[in-house]
A and B are shown apart, each in its own frame.
Chain A
């Protein structure tokens, strides 16, 4: 193998390290190369970072992914529209239901079908519940990455109540596969609304607990304040979305500004932003958003309209020719599907725009000139799911 560029050299070193299946530190002429991962507790999966160090400082960092690439964009081309939701459930596995919604909305847009109001309401409720199930884990996990072990156990404990509620409706704790073109698979079970209120109360007290336990903690603040600062314009040019963007002071939320098909306009709620753009701001925004999600669900639970949960759609679904892009504000950020249809049973091409892929593309920029321990806290605060990067 001839090594021509510096990047190839880095990739070569990385591949050698992978063969040994250990984290190794390789001495090179200009300093040290530190290999993090692919099996590292901070990566929520298999992501590897190759960092070139000068002392304790990172000179250049290069994330390497693809260990989990499953080729969903190709697989969607040989599956019918209803079958696709089974696949895309597995993109962001912590908030699965939220993955299905934009695809279904895109197909509905092409078919010119609209789900009945009751289905839209329940969709929005489940969407926000999956946001809580997802972000709740982040709140605990972020603390673990800076050295506090307890919060993550609290997060797992309280997340269970939300998962139970999702399971009661959909039958699946992690992969509901519940959304259908034209509505939902099933209606809510009896007594579910009251139980959900109970779970939400628990969630609210969890948020308060996190605020007291983590947010005010001196060590946590020292590890996150003014670390990993992303200015708003840089965040935009890298395509950051969701809480990462709002933590950089950009007041932008698809739920409020470009809402398609969900009923956020029926609710009184607030978009939280933070001007600092550091790791602390990203944690703070997500904490507020979890509270806000509880608030949204609370209001929606009281106003679910009656009626059918399924619009009239043919049993064998053929989507008329056309192109559509629908994005929603998923727990991790903007998730969208660009669906190209040629009037067949299967989509002609589906481009999956996943939030973590864009959110992570800023890592070479943000990890420059930080200290080694901050790599972990910055990665944790950017918050990615490997399935969402690799698709």
Chain B
């Protein structure tokens, strides 16, 4: 175990004390009214930020795909996410390609939502051997649009004419993650799917050639899965917070 330097502990302690000192002041009944006022103001501020283009596109998608869109998320001026089931994966891409003019195939990948079983703690010298079996799905936290399974397929399709990018996510089966290949819609998906196959072990049906693209042909395992150990973490300490130096003039 590497020790956290004293100056960091001191700073954390000071911050905690400061927060505690401020808390009762905010909780006083007299300040309640102003608090609600600010809350209202915050809500108003948030509602101002509407991404009209994304809303409009989402409405078109919902009109066309209806129930097939399981959930959606709009981060104003940052992007539009939709989630479909893996059965509708190719159909969704086809719809976006034909109806919304998403002709530009940006990229495709997979996210493994399982928390890493190797305790990647700040003060851990190296990876801890996993004690329990791979984490149950209940312990996972998904990002935007939520999710149901460990692996989520994600691809970004872009419409040059409307200048909007759409992220499409699909839940994959835990035991045998598989989906239909997008090659008939976007030939460029070929290499991306090969990469996703070797890195995450996701099978793409109807893909003509699912050989490894980066790794040697006889490589075992799927390196980007969260439960795949990282050798460098076994060899040397984590180069993290312990390296932080004090600023000039700051107490050690």
A contact residues vs B (CB 8 Å cutoff):
7-8, 11, 15, 65-66, 69, 71, 73-75, 77-80, 83, 109, 233-234, 236-240, 250, 252, 257-258, 315-316, 321-325, 327, 334, 336, 338, 340, 342, 345-346, 349, 351, 353, 357-358, 360-362, 365, 390
Contact = CB atoms under 8 A, between A and B. Distances in A.
Interface in B191-223: 191-192, 199, 209, 211-217, 223
Report whether over half of chain A's contact residues are helix, strand or loop; otherwise say mixed: mixed
Interface string B81-116: 100000000000000000000011111010110001
B106 A236 contact: no
Nearest to A250: B160
Contact of B214 (A66, A316, A325): A66
A338 B116 CA distance: 19
- B78, B191, B233 pick with most chain A CB within 10 angstroms: B191
Contact of A349 (B112, B186, B212): B112
B68 interface: no
A365 B187 contact: yes
Contacts of A351: 107, 109, 154
A340 B143 contact: yes
Interface stretch (B33-41, B59-67, B237-245): B237-245
B238 A78 contact: yes
A71 B228 CA distance: 13
B79 interface: yes
A66 B215 contact: yes
Contacts of B224: 73-74
B180 interface: no
B190 interface: yes
A99 to B, nearest CB: 16
Contact of A357 (B156, B160, B191, B209): B191
A74 B215 CA distance: 14
Given A238-B188, A325-B167, A345-B122, A7 B104 contact: no
B239 A238 contact: no
Contacts of A69: 214-215
B211 A66 contact: no
A334 B106 contact: yes
A7 B213 CA distance: 12
B160 A65 contact: no
Interface in B92-151: 103-107, 109, 111-112, 116, 120, 122, 141, 143-144
A380 B117 CA distance: 44
Given A250-B160, A340-B111, A351-B107, A316 B241 contact: yes
B245 to A, nearest CB: 10
B187 A238 contact: yes
Interface residues of B, number: 51
Nearest to B194: A361
A11 B212 CA distance: 11
Contacts of B186: 237-239
A321 B142 CA distance: 10
A11 B106 contact: no
B165 interface: yes
Nearest to B145: A323
Given A66-B216, A71-B223, 16 more contacts: A7-B209, A74-B230, A237-B105, A237-B187, A238-B105, A257-B163, A316-B244, A323-B81, A325-B156, A336-B106, A336-B107, A338-B154, A346-B120, A349-B112, A357-B191, A358-B188
A66 B212 contact: yes
Contacts of A257: 163
What are the nearest 4 A-B pairs in CB distance?
Answer: A66-B214, A238-B188, A69-B214, A239-B188
Contacts of B247: 315
A257 B165 CA distance: 12
A275 B148 CA distance: 46
A239 B214 contact: no
Given A236-B105, A239-B105, A338-B109, A74 B223 contact: yes
B107 A353 contact: yes
A336 B167 CA distance: 13
- B143, B215, B228 pick with most chain A CB within 10 angstroms: B143
B106 A322 contact: no
A240 B105 CA distance: 8
A250 B143 CA distance: 34
A342 B141 contact: yes
